[in-house]
Each structure stands twice: as C-alpha cells, then as structure tokens.
Amino acid sequence: MNYLMWIGNQHYSRDSYITEAKKFGASKKVGYIPHGLTLGTSKIYLISDMTEEDRKNYFEELKKRHSMAYFRAKEDGKKKSLKGFGVMPRGQAVIFGYFTVNAVVFTSVEGNTEFPPDIINIEHYTLNDGEFGTNDERGCGSLKPMSFYLISENSMKAIIELYNSPDKHSENVTIFDKPLPYMGKHFRGVEETEYD
C-alpha cells in the first residue's frame, strides 16, 4: 500500500523541504500507523502547493488579514475573526516526490515506560535534552514525545549519522524532475493512494 501526504506551508516551502529531506532523510509525524504499511515497500508521495515565492505571498496576505481583522474587531467591539476575507492565495498543488518507509519510530522521554504494542517493527527512540531530536534540527522543530514517525532511513541512528556528516546525503528520497499535478483536496495525515 502507498500513501499521499501534504508538506505543510507553516514550516516548509516545497524547496526547503526538498533540501532538508535530501540532506538527512524524510521523517513524517503521523497520528497512527497506516493500515497496510509495509516497511521497505510502502511509499509516501509528497504533495505541496507552496514554492518559496508562494509561501512568502501567503504569509504577507495572512499578516494583512490579521491586521484588518484586528481593526475591524476593535471598530465593531467584537472578537477578532479572519472570516469573510475569502480563500487564501496558494500555488499549484503537485506531487513532487516520494520516500519509501524503511522504519517506524516511536518517540518518548527518559523514564517513560509506556510503549505501543509491537504491531510491526517499531523502533523506540528516547528524546533526551540536548541530543538529536530536541534541538529544532528540522524546519518543523523538535521531535514530539509519544509520537509515531515514518522515516526514509533504516533507523533513527542513520538519520543522526546523515545529520552529523556534511558530506553524506540520503539516498532514500526521490524528487521528480517534473512534478505531477495534484487535483485532490487538501487533507491532514496520510491517505491511501493507487500511485505506484
């Protein structure tokens, strides 16, 4: 089984995500382990509608809308709301690449004995202050405790090795020369797909 997943504009443009993923692999937080996931075979196809320029325009527009909403609320004596401004500007949605899921990691903090049942081979990774995963190494910040991550490398140790080695790069993330147009809706999490 293969899956689709959006790369959010809050932390990344398509370009910044590609740079990061090529350097030390893909790592996507999920709320659950997708049904039918097979390590070493299942692919996560990556969707984005934000180039660096699209992202810049998006946040400039968002700032304007917040300012207008503030003054509108002050004038009307009501709570600030972004309703009524229309759809936010976005770029063309495309599937720009994929990674094969080679490991599932469950994060926890030191001293936590809770661990999910071994549904598939889940790697347990403890987040210790000052060590990898707690220092905002990725554009989306630090790893979150008590969470599942689908990763492109065979282990968290392999991601850390890539991160610490300037001359090494992930070979497990594929970026398309020509992205594929995506006509579906925006969604959170992962969705199954027929793409192969």
The C-alpha atoms of residue 7 and residue 46 are separated, in whole angstroms, by 7
Judge residue 25's burial from the number of C-beta atoms within 10 Å of its C-beta, 0-12 exposed, 13-18 middle, 19 or more buried.
buried
Ranges of each domain in the chain: 24-47+94-193
Check whether 118 has a pLDDT greater than 60.
Answer: no
pLDDT, tens only, 66-114 = 999 998 888 888 888 888 888 888 889 999 999 999 999 999 887 766 6
pLDDT, tens only, 154-169 = 999 999 999 999 899 9
Judge residue 126's burial from the number of C-beta atoms within 10 Å of its C-beta, 0-12 exposed, 13-18 middle, 19 or more buried.
middle
The C-alpha atoms of residue 63 and residue 183 are separated, in whole angstroms, by 28
pLDDT, tens only, 23-80 = 999 999 999 999 999 999 999 999 999 988 998 998 899 999 999 999 888 888 888 8
